[in-house]
Amino acid sequence: MIGLAERIERFGLAGHSLSPRGDVYWNLGRAQLIEQAIARGEGQLAESGAFVATTGAFTGRSPKDRFIVREPTSDASIGWGKVNVALPESSFDALAELTREELELSDVFVRDAWCGADRRFRLGVRIITATAWHNLFAANMFIPPTDSELESFEPDWTVLHAPSAMADPATHSTSSGTYVVLNFGKRTVIIGGTEYAGELKKAIFSVMNFLLPARDVLPMHCSANVGTGGDVALFFGLSGTGKTTLSADPDRPLIGDDEHGWGPDGVFNFEGGSYAKAIGITEESEPEIYRASSRFGTILENVVIDPVSHVPDYSDNSLTENTRASYPLDHLENIEASGVAGHPKTIVFLTADAFGVLPPISRLSPEQAMYHFLAGYTAKVAGTERGVKEPVATFSACFGEPFLPRRPAEYADMLGDRMRKHGVSVWLVNTGWTGGPFGVGHRIALKHTRAMIGSAIDGSLGDAPTVRHPVFGVEVPCAVEGVPDAVLDPRSTWTDSDEYDKQARALAALFRKNFEPFEADVPDAVRAVAPLAG
């Protein structure tokens, strides 16, 4: 048995000011992590072999508990405000000590991994967790180094995760006992007071969103796939809008389903896995995701299983609507294993319109694309964030404002430059409601959405006849193969056309109000495409 000091030195934790009292488990395989997690009572196996975990009170992110340390190296580049809330360095130091003390109480699990499939821009991340299953999550979601890379691995960033550590708002300047804090000066993330695994990956996504623009790489909250001819399609949208579902195309290998960079040679995935929404999935509706969710090594997060048979019930939302499946990308049958592809040919902005007025598909001009990218309109889906009980219309700049340390216009300018340079076609697709607002109308059929996106990507809609929407000014195709013509005109799906017009103008007014903070940052041509209100 090696001594404590030798163990700490051997496992490289002295540099992180950690002296665990228990054992240090270093880069364990998935089977070993699952054995550890079950032995520790962290979860159980589903009948399929997937590992099932619950996250207690937190079944989604806690955006009001995310902070960025105000320090000299990053201060001038951060878009400070209600999204990027400043935390004093002294508060970070105290919270970091609290996190380390909690981690030192027993065993710890260490994971070394890459974020970024393009070797030129990847980030080396060391994730240190108090639980085996969260380390399994990191193993699924990040890119594993090769054995030779592990021998000389030096992390660029460190994540310390201690779910049982609780902040004191009066002492630590936090909003609650929960905290997710990014310190760009010390290249460290600390997370406490929450077991929700998604905080781990989104924290590093935020780090990439800060670092990469300085290297002329656009970080994007989007999924991506590629055709046999090398044509790349990007799918932007918040949780619940269909990024994962719609990018999982049997005819187009998946590059990744959530986080990407657009560099000088094209697109590259940040991740090595998928964190798919699991609520309501079936083998018939989403076969690839369903099969990947049923494999050993997958984590089913907050998915209810039968107490006797351990068969998952994906329709059960008693814990949350935000049930998830975390699995490595190689659990899917049709992927671009390199995680790298060329420049995009098509961009799709996905929105779940809770008002039920946006067309199911419409073509955007370059100026409209800039406008809608900055608007980032969708509906928050129940359970995605703490406190959200039903869909709520919202705007999230660049379809990912909670993860943008810089000002949104900086990312929008980069997207606009790339769209113009590469001649990208852009489409706005509503995966939300038709025939009325939420509670009255119904969700647009997935098969119709797939048909519309397929026609947009293959180019058949490029020169198709369109009609201009009278309120939003977007060009709506008159016909799409496999889609009833009536579906394309949202006004015709309402029983009361006057009520539709009223609702459309009301949504347009929300768009214009939301865009006011960006007006000084965009050209006149972008401001001119705002929807008509009143």
16, 70, 172, 221: the active-site residue: 221
324, 372, 380, 407: the active-site residue: 324
Three-state secondary structure call for residue 397: helix
Q: Which are the contacts of 479, defined by CB distance < 8 A and separation ≥ 6?
A: 464, 465, 485, 488
108 within 8 A of 20, measured Cβ to Cβ: yes
61, 126, 386, 448: the active-site residue: 61
99, 258, 293, 449: the active-site residue: 258
Please tell me the total number of residues recorded for the chain in this structure: 534
74, 91, 239, 323: the active-site residue: 239
The upper half-sphere exposure of residue 349, i.e. CA atoms within 13 Å in the direction of its Cβ, equals 32
91, 244, 298, 425: the active-site residue: 244
Catalytic, 201? Answer: no
344 within 8 A of 233, measured Cβ to Cβ: yes
Catalytic, 243? Answer: yes
Catalytic, 310? Answer: no
d(Cα 423, Cα 219) in Å, to the nearest integer? 19
Reading the block at residue 139, the tokens are 């193993």
100, 122, 243, 260: the active-site residue: 243
d(Cα 441, Cα 430) in Å, to the nearest integer? 14
Rg from Cα positions in the chain: 23
Report CA torsion sign: 210, 113, 119, 348: negative
Phi, psi of 138 (to 5 degrees): -65, -40
Residue indicated by tokens 């040679």: 265
d(Cα 133, Cα 52) in Å, to the nearest integer? 9
Catalytic, 239? Answer: yes
Catalytic, 309? Answer: no
Reading the block at residue 126, the tokens are 């060391």
Measured between alpha carbons, how far is residue 31 from residues 49, 149, 243 in Å?
11, 22, 29
Question: How is residue 14 annotated by DSSP?
Answer: G
Alpha carbon dihedral 392, 393, 395, 400, in 10-degree steps, equals: 50
d(Cα 55, Cα 509) in Å, to the nearest integer? 38
Measured between alpha carbons, how far is residue 110 from residues 11, 25, 35 in Å?
9, 6, 16
d(Cα 119, Cα 97) in Å, to the nearest integer? 33
d(Cα 235, Cα 450) in Å, to the nearest integer? 12
100, 122, 161, 202: the active-site residue: 202
d(Cα 472, Cα 77) in Å, to the nearest integer? 34
Three state DSSP letters for 156-201: CEEEEEECCCCCCHHHHCCCCCCEEEEECCCCEEEEECCCCCHHHH
Catalytic, 258? Answer: yes
Listed in order, strand segments (DSSP E) in 193-311 are: 218-226, 232-236, 254-256, 259-263, 266-269, 273-277, 299-301, 304-305
d(Cα 415, Cα 419) in Å, to the nearest integer? 6
Active site residues: 61, 202, 221, 239, 243-244, 258, 324
